[in-house]
Amino acid sequence: MIANQRDFPVAVLVSGRGSNMEALLKAEQAGELGRATVRLVVSDNPEAKALEIARSYGVRAEYIDGAPFKTKLEGAAEERYIQAIRESGARLVVMAGFMRMLKPAFISAFSGRIVNIHPSLLPAYPGLHTHERAIEAGEQFAGCTVHFVNEVMDGGKRIIQARVPVKPGDTPEILAVRVLEQEHQIFKRVIRWISEGRLTEETCPEEPFIFNERMPLWN
Ligand code: GRF
């Protein structure tokens, strides 16, 4: 295998700021994304900064209407997404701050080939307002998780987590910055492992890797 052959197209779903997506684009430029290449970026929000950023990297970026629902992708909208991703030839769907639940038709269209990043140490704090909830609960550690996506919200097989300390005086915003730095570190590694065939949903261990601590796939 030629190490830098980029024959593993990826589609990235975004709704907002796009810092995780940009971290992947930077990693690709730096040759750190294995065989993966970001082929398509899709947003359910026409104003998403992520669309602008993707285009500035020369990546095709499209707004696709997610209506009529606001928090899930279902029916005709789901079909539009499935079709666009299929047409792109993507072999992996990456949810990078995509604020909708994926339903069974989408999940089975890309079975075992969807990953998401979530800003908590799952199974703790699925859903929204993770940092606020972790601080309120007096947690000593917070963090982020990359996981395969199934029909349970933030409930699929966990691949890797990074931990950060919760410090005295932390606000959700301050903690979010500390966690986000780690998100950018772990996401690109997962995409690389999957693109190189080193990790699949079936072979994913029960317990997630812990970034910088327990990293059997590291090289
Ligand atoms: C990140 O915190 C990610 O974990 C969550 O949504 C946020 C997206 O941020 N799923 P960005 O758009 O990647 O900057």
34-68 pLDDT per residue, tens: 999 999 999 999 999 999 999 999 999 999 999 99
174 C-alpha to ligand 1 centroid (Å): 15
- Name the E strands within 3-140: 8-14, 36-43, 60-63, 72-73, 92-95, 101-102, 114-118
Among 51, 100, 115, 117, name the best residue to mutate to test ligand 1's pocket (greatest count of ligand atoms within 8 A of Cβ): 117
Across 131-145, average pLDDT: 98
Across 200-209, average pLDDT: 95
* Residues paired with 180 in a beta bridge: none
Share of the chain above pLDDT 70, in %: 95
pTM score: 0.96
Q: Is the CB of 41 under 6 A from ligand 1?
A: no
Give the SS3 label for residue 153.
Answer: coil
Across 146-166, average pLDDT: 96
Catalytic residues: 118
Alpha-carbon distance values, 164 to 42, 75, 130, 167, 215 (Å): 30, 39, 14, 9, 17
Residue 4 dihedral angles phi and psi, to the nearest 5° = -100, 20
Share of the chain above pLDDT 90, in %: 94
1 C-alpha to ligand 1 centroid (Å): 33
pLDDT at 1: 47
Residue 180 dihedral angles phi and psi, to the nearest 5° = -60, -40
Among 12, 13, 19, 38, name the best residue to mutate to test ligand 1's pocket (greatest count of ligand atoms within 8 A of Cβ): 19
Q: Residue 143 pLDDT > 50, yes or no? A: yes
162 C-alpha to ligand 1 centroid (Å): 15
The first and second tokens of residue 91, run together, are 């072999």
Confidence of residue 86 (pLDDT cuts 50, 70, 90): very high
Question: For residue range 106-125, what is the model confidence (pLDDT) as tens digits?
Answer: 999 999 999 999 999 999 99
Mean pLDDT of the chain: 95
Contact (CB, 8 A) for 149 and 103:
no
Q: What strands lie across the sheet with 60-63, from one edge to the other?
A: 60-63, 36-43, 8-14, 92-95, 114-118, 141-148, 158-165, 209-210
Q: How far apart are the first and last CA of the chain?
A: 17
Contact (CB, 8 A) for 164 and 188:
no
Helix 19-29 × helix 172-195 angle, to 10° = 40
Question: For residue range 178-192, what is the model confidence (pLDDT) as tens digits?
Answer: 999 999 999 999 999
